[in-house]
Amino acid sequence: MTNIPNILLIYTGGTIGMVKDYKTNTLKSFDFEQIKQKIPELKLLNCHIQTISFITPIDSSNMNPKYWVQIAEIIESYYDGMDGFVVLSGTDTMSYTSSAISFMFENLSKPIIFTGSQLPIGDLRTDAKENLITAIQIAATHKDGIPKIGEVCLYFEYKLYRANRTTKVSAEQFEAYHSPNFPQLGESGVHLNFNKRVVSKIDQSKKLILRKNVNANIVILKLFPGIKEQVVKCILEIENLQGVILETYGAGNAPTEKWFINLLQNAIKKNIPLVNVSQCISGSVDLGYYETSSQLKEIGMIDGKDITTESAVAKLIYLIGVGIPADQFKKTFEIPLRGEMV
**What is the set of active-site residues?**
15
Phi, psi of 78, rounded to the nearest 5 degrees: -100, 0
Q: Which residues pair with 218 in a beta bridge?
A: 243
Neighbours of 51 (CB within 10 A): 17
- The candidate with the shortest Cα–Cα distance to 313, out of 212, 192, 221, 220, is 220
Helix (H) or strand (E) holding 134: helix 128-140
Strand 142-143, strand 146-147: pairing = antiparallel
3-state secondary structure of 196: coil
Instruction: Report DSSP letters for 26-91, one per residue.
Output: EEEE--GGGHHHH-GGGGGSSSEEEEEE-SSPPPGGG--HHHHHHHHHHHHHHGGG-SEEEEE--S
Query: What is the rounded distance in angstroms from the CA atom of residue 255 to the CA atom of residue 240?
Result: 26
- The candidate with the shortest Cα–Cα distance to 246, out of 222, 229, 230, 269, is 222
On whether the CB atoms of residues 45 and 137 are closer than 8 A, the answer is yes
Residues 6 or more apart whose Cβ sits within 8 Å of residue 27: 18, 19, 20, 21, 120
